Structure 1
Amino acid sequence: MAGQGAEVSAWAAGGGVWMVRIAGDLDESRTAAMSDALRRGLDTGGRRTVVDASDVEFADSSVLHTLLQARAAYVATEVELVIAGPSLAVRRLLDVTNTASAFVLADSLREAMAY
């Protein structure tokens, strides 16, 4: 069942970067935690938020909606939002919905940190 085994965590990574890790099976039950973690990235006054999506096994449209809302807030405040290492599930969601171009995607966490 989606939502079980899901992880949303966030922390300051230094150098003006806020990290958000999303993993497991993500659905509407985790979007409030995602929104909160992404909002805190804006509140830190940093220059970039990196979303580590490398271990997402499932993500539904509510997760995409949360990411799109966050993107709009980040664009409005001129803070970078980078999705790092998007898993196959995340890439599939972005491709099927034709929204990949709305995001800055980095192949790896290392690449996202160097952006």
Structure 2
Amino acid sequence: MLMGHALRQTFFLERLVRTNARGEHEYAEPELHACRYEGATKRLVTADGSERVSESIMWCRVEVKAEDRVYPPGTSPDDYNAGREPLRCSPRHALSGAVDHYEVYL
């Protein structure tokens, strides 16, 4: 892994399990993963095609989906308001062609 040496922080990831008829989301138990995280303001196009501004970028080995909930380093799943829905998650490939890591924009 090209970025493996740089993943010295951790974040919690809650995967979407289901959405009920009222539009309320139910998430799985939080999973702890390694990452590299930094503030970085950037304009980007989200998965639904809208234009948004991200406040930070996170590099990790685990794929994060738009409907998941991310708790950046320094935050806790105990504080629901600290969780964020990713604006975009882009796979990055190694020279071999395999996925090396993911860039997650929050």
Q: TM class by shorter-chain length? A: under 0.3
Structure with a larger share of its residues in helix: 1
The structure whose RCO (Cα within 8 Å, separation 6+) is larger is 2
Bigger radius of gyration:
2
TM value normalised by structure 1:
0.24
Structure with a larger share of its residues in strand: 2
